[in-house]
Amino acid sequence: MGFNERYSRALGTSGRQEAARHGTTDPLLASALAAAGSDGDLGALLQRVRTIDDARRDPASLAQLLRLWMAEVARRGRARRWAPENTAWNAQAAHALYRTVAELSLAHWLDGGCKACGGTGQHDALDCADCGGRGEQPIRHAGGFVHERVRDMVSELHNIAARHARRASARLHGRPPGWKAG
């Protein structure tokens, strides 16, 4: 069982004290330790928000995640020079671009699975027509420039979450931070 499944199971335990005695909540501790060992990493918050099902998602956590992700997208957008910010009008347009990319990428990352096939890529024993067998909805945005940026940031979200899961899994198995399999 992978770290994500163990983390999800730990969140579903009802009695945390009893579960702690049986080691069921160890993934929660490992995730917290992995987050504490990284500077400004969104991984723990991404893990928590994505693991909790839609019915139980905390609006405050989502709002916090969106604020942090918007700041991160703006930082990455400036570093990659997506838009000039040399005038007030350009700065305002760049901010609107960063906000749009952040909102669309986070929404797609959180709920990008194909609705027609349930994310399996198969529908009636054939490749799903809606997603082309990928199990993921296409990113829907008219502008090609914005579409590419959203796709890049969805990939970044996947990478951030995977890095956090690797660090937390290493902590869970008692390996020190930075440990690499030889």
Q: State the pLDDT confidence band at 1, using cuts at 50, 70 and 90.
A: low
Angle between helices 59-79 and 43-51 (to 10 degrees): 140
Distance CA 147, CA 140 (A): 8
Q: 71-129: per-residue pLDDT in tens?
A: 999 999 999 999 999 999 999 999 999 999 999 999 999 988 888 888 888 888 889 88
Q: Does an H or E element contain 122, and which?
A: strand 122-123
Is 0.75 surpassed by the pTM of this model?
Answer: no
Would you state the pLDDT for residue 164? 86
Q: 47-86: per-residue pLDDT in tens?
A: 888 777 555 667 888 888 999 999 999 999 999 999 999 9
Instruction: Locate 146 and state its tokens.
Output: 């914005």
- Bigger pLDDT: 146 or 18? 146
Average pLDDT, the chain: 79
Q: Among 28-32, 105-109, 155-159, 165-169, which stretch is predicted with the lowest mean pLDDT?
A: 28-32
Percent of the chain, pLDDT > 90? 33
